[in-house]
Structure 1
Amino acid sequence: MVIATIASGGINTPALQAVEIVAHRGASHDAPENTLASVNLAWEKNTDGVEIDVYLSKDNQIVAFHDKTMKRTGGGTDLRIVDQTLAELKKLDAGSWKSPKYKGEQIPLLSEILPTIPEGKRLFIEVKCGPEIVPFLKADLKKAGRKADQTCVICFGSDVCRDVKQEMPELKVYWLSGQRKDKETGEWTPKLESLIETAQSIHADGLDLNANEKIDAEFVQQVKQANLGLYVWTVNNPDEANRLAKAGVDGITTDRPAFLRDALEK
């Protein structure tokens, strides 16, 4: 983890905040997102965590993929991931769109990614579908035998977060949300109070928010006072990452984990 200097009472206090660097869809700047190539490259770059996106296939297999359809990264068709069987998905080329050297890279199963997690690192599993995935997620995690602190679940669906926490209370669960600023009023929505209230109501362990100018030391302090963690996405600019680290966020998700780590350490 990168150790940041954070401001406290107007005085800079060093080594108080260890900022977790999380590789967004693996090392997705350099390798095709949500593939074993991307995940393994992120581990090789010594990232603290890797974030992947998952869906439940037609035959109830958990696969790593971001979009609803395969058009952008799965071969150019408009077919939906949830309507395909694992056998059909495994036939797709999930790498060529990024670079010819990744031709033939397959869509991986979650069960193929879990064994790659090094000791002391963790996988952030973003659920892109509904609560129907929860029993299959529980089964995959149990079979993999990883320590509870080596995986966590994130999702925009508060119902998914709630159900995961109910079924697997040992896991950390972070509720994903985005804040937007009204161009006319300058108001940010949803308001932080509302975000905290929802996170607490579903027994989430924290929030995972889009990085924005509203997130400062006071904002982070409010989240921490509610006994919640705070992660932000997706930050590739070192100056913004440094600002957020000093504000006290727990982790920063980035497409360029090694680049961002090096920049922060300098």
Structure 2
Amino acid sequence: QVAAMVADALDTVQPDGPDRSAEVLHRLTTALAAGAADPAHPHCAAHLHCPPLAVAVAADTVASILNQSLDSWDQAPAATAMETRIIAELADLAGYDGQRAGGVVTSGGTESNLTALLLARDHALAAHSDIDPTRTGVAAAADGARPRILCGEVAHFSVQRAAALLGLGEEAVITVAVDSEHRMRPEALRRTLHQVRENGDVPVAVVATAGTTDLGGIDPLAAVAHIAAEYGVWLHVDAAYGGGLLFSDRLRGLLDGLSRADSVSLDLHKLGWQ
């Protein structure tokens, strides 16, 4: 019933004459506000997006007005330099060498995980067959082996989605058992990696989670990193939700081991208040 009411309210937005942009904008704003979830309301709990800081709203307004495209430097010189600097500062915060690490601003955690697993796929398959999968395709580079991605049982669904988009298939994702606090069990990860290798499959990546979206579980990153390094497997940490702990002097220790990951996703529209 509520969904129908919201949809009906949006029907009133349609213009009924020429050059009515101001009126349409007013109608649209009214309908959007009336049917919005208010993340600043004390009863709006257990959702992922935040009430943005006032300065974030102001910055977003400036970005919208300037409408820069970061496809190439000549389309957005200052914005490109700003993105590079922001990535370096976030890399430093995560424990990387900000002068050597690279990255990009994406639309959110799902796209960030996809990007990281694309890098992991190409790295693993090129090492497996000495063939570049971006040129020949996954099947040729895999050379008969099955690519596998390992993650905890409560990892974000974007891991499976990324596997499908990357041509590996959702069934390429193998879930690893978690403990009572929803953290990946290191001993279970070791057993699973051993089995993957025994089966002749190619482990593309281990995906650890720093802050599951439902329960806030943080995998034991240091232990997971040790095992991934032991098996020579790319480690990606999905810290889209829990990465905001890096801004806390008191809580950042919960992410010990993050700097040992090959790639990290951070999502500033969650605990970054952007």
Aligning the two structures, in what range does the TM-score lie when normalised by the shorter sequence? 0.3 to 0.5
Q: Which has the higher contact order (CA 8 A, sep 6+)?
A: 1
Structure having the higher strand fraction is: 1
TM-score, normalising length: structure 1 = 0.34
Structure having the higher helix fraction is: 2
TM-score, normalising length: structure 2 = 0.33
Which structure has the greater CA radius of gyration?
A: 2
